[in-house]
Amino acid sequence: MFDKTLLHCSRWNSDRRLCQKLWCLLFDFQNLWKHLTLQ
């Protein structure tokens, strides 16, 4: 689930600025962290 989000997010930001890419990765990391902590 979060893998698809990361892929989509990276694709969506492929032509964006680096700061936006980092923000997107941070957002995905938070989703991943939630997923891991809920288990």
2-6: list long-range contacts, CB under 8 Å, 24+ apart. Answer: 2/28, 2/31, 2/32, 2/35, 5/31, 6/32
The per-residue pLDDT for 16 is 56
Helix crossing, 2-12 with 18-38: angle to 10°?
Answer: 170
The per-residue pLDDT for 12 is 53
For the stretch 1-39, pLDDT in tens is 455 555 555 555 555 566 677 777 888 888 888 888 886
**What Cα–Cα distance (Å) separates residue 2 from each residue in 17, 18, 19?**
22, 21, 21
Q: Which two tokens stand for residue 32?
A: 């991943």
The per-residue pLDDT for 1 is 46
Compute CA 17 distance to the chain's CA centroid, rounded to the nearest angstrom.
15
Q: pTM value?
A: 0.42
